[in-house]
Amino acid sequence: MDAIKSHLSGLAHTTWVSRLVFWLTIAGMAYGLYKAYDLGQTMRAAAQARAEEAIASEDRAFCEKFGMSVGSATYLSCCRELSFIRQKQTERDRTVTIDML
């Protein structure tokens, strides 16, 4: 009888430990997913900032090449027209991609 009680108490301890390990694993995975999501958001924001900076630099280089100084009305008009050109190119690229599928 003592052997059976000893075996049952060992089994209860093993079950408790396995549950603890299970929940710690779940908690670790949840934390890992949270950190991956957070890192993804940070990386996306940094990529967006780099893209906006590159576009501003391209606008400045292109418009200044034709004598439009930064801050003038003609410069703003030039930047606006370049954004229209970029938008049309994006739409063309999207159409080509859809046609390829």
Confidence class for position 23, pLDDT limits 50, 70, 90 = very high
11 pLDDT more than 60:
no
Q: What is the pLDDT of residue 13?
A: 66
Q: What is the pLDDT of residue 99?
A: 81
4 pLDDT more than 80:
no
Nearest C-alpha neighbor of 73 from the set 81, 61, 83: 81
Q: Give me the residue spans of the domains in the chain.
A: 2-100
At 68-88, the pLDDT tens digits run: 988 899 999 999 999 999 999
Q: What is the pLDDT of residue 9?
A: 59
**What mean pLDDT do residues 1-30 have?**
76
